[in-house]
Homo-oligomer: A and B are copies of this chain.
Amino acid sequence: MSARSNDAKHSNNRPALPLFTDLYELTMAAGYLAHGVSGTATFSVYVRGAGLPRSFLVAAGLAPALAELADFRFRPEDIDYLAQTGIFPDDFLDYLPAVRFTGTVRALPEGTVFFPDEPLLEVTAPILEAQLLETFVLNTLGLHTMLASKAARCVLAAAGRPLVDFALRRTQGQDAGMALARACHIVGFAGTSNVLAGKRYGIPVSGTMAHSFVTAFADEEAAFRAYAEVFPDSSVFLIDTYDTLAGARIAARVGKDMAARGHRLRGVRLDSGDMITLSRQVRAILDEAGLTEVKIFASSGFDEFKIADALAAGATIDAFGVGTKAGVSADMPFLDIVYKMVAFAGRPIRKRSPGKETLGGEKQVFRFADSTGRFVEDVLGTADERVDGGQPLLETVMREGRVCVASPSLEAIRERCRRQMAGLADRYRRISAPAVYPVRVSRRLRALQQGLP
């Protein structure tokens, strides 16, 4: 199976918008309406860099976000509920049925590598409309981008070894689990355990057995033989239920019998204990039995740090099940992602709250690469400037409220991400203490800040 679906129809849920929002977006909208504040605003979405334990980020979540924006409207039941709260003036409630998103969206294509303070998306629309998108846009882009950025680091740490997303049972909810499988596929994972993601996105699914299976049989050997009978060429035996080395010897015995019948044991899985020592001992047991092709698969607590440590210490692990810690981005369980108004009614806007300053003006990100394609520097400029030699990264994806580019397939996004990650020099790809990628503010964008309040 390969990822085949154009996933603009990302979800089979009811749309979350427009009520998937913080209340204040609606009260502000009521304020704008009452006072005729109807100018065009640009909101810029970016990730603040302070304290971010990442040298780079991977943009994701655009397709699911656009699918909802294109269908933005208040349904009668939504307006009934809002009326019932007693919060809103009637004029506002009467206005809501006609509200659609009619604006422009410029965004980094999914799979693009980007850096803190660079906009990954900008919305330009009448202020009321643009305001109403904030919560949803931040939630969606934040989740997908956070997960893709974490998973990309796992891919780097594994240095070519296949990874499988195993985190579904402990993701922060159902759409986190779906977003994770999708993000992992984008950054290059080999598969996911998430069956619904397999169905919905066409991602390869993968999985073996749990301890409950082993303990449901009289002994480990009976469990392995029973499993191998049903899955003669795709079995991976979980060998740590009682004693990992004893389990490995039993797996080797069953694996030899499988080979004798013309089948093949695909692998064994380690799920506890000292993975470095155990993987080497298990490798020796398998090799001694002539099962040099049988893979060692390891799971339990693997994220980029544990993968890198295990490989550096000489673990003979062929593939990793990446679980909870990566699935919730445990070292960075949220992005400091913001949706800031940077222009209104033709003038740039900035905010100067301490520690939360913004740069005013619509923006573009220009990327400079060397002759080998390695990224050298980004320049943050104004949307309307041209920076010689720099590739503009933000593309217009919605115009007048309609999606105006073909939604790339998940495979195309994955391929884009592969090329993007190849553009990162080793010093930015390091798991620990990576270098800081240079992002410069253009002279023009800097000049624009002069004289703003």
Contacts and interface: CB of A to CB of B under 8 A. Distances in A.
- Contact-residue bracket for chain A: 35 or more
A371 interface: no
Interface stretch (A330-338, A374-382, A410-418, A430-438): A330-338
Interface stretch (A108-116, A311-319, A350-358, A442-450): A350-358
Given A139-B169, A193-B23, A212 B39 contact: no
* Copies of chain A in the complex: 2
Contacts of A168: 20-22, 135, 139
Interface in A273-317: 273
A20 B273 CA distance: 29
A103 to B, nearest CB: 15
Interface string A80-101: 0110110101000000000000
B207 A139 contact: no
A210 B209 CA distance: 50
Nearest to A86: B1
B195 A19 contact: yes
A131 interface: yes
A216 B37 CA distance: 8
Interface in A31-58: 31-32, 34-35, 37, 39, 41, 43
A34 B230 contact: yes
A329 interface: yes
Interface stretch (A198-206, A385-393, A401-409): A198-206
A20 B453 CA distance: 51
A12 interface: yes
A168 to B, nearest CB: 5
A273 B240 CA distance: 52
A174 interface: yes
Given A172-B328, A173-B179, A193-B22, A341 B209 contact: no
21 contacts: A12-B13, A16-B196, A19-B199, A20-B177, A21-B196, A23-B195, A23-B205, A25-B207, A27-B207, A27-B230, A28-B209, A30-B231, A31-B209, A31-B213, A31-B231, A131-B212, A211-B340, A211-B351, A272-B356, A330-B333, A330-B334
Given A170-B334, A273-B354, 11 more contacts: A16-B196, A20-B174, A24-B193, A27-B231, A32-B213, A127-B212, A127-B216, A139-B169, A139-B173, A272-B355, A333-B333
A-B pairs with the 6 shortest C-beta distances?
A: A23-B207, A172-B172, A24-B207, A333-B333, A173-B175, A22-B193
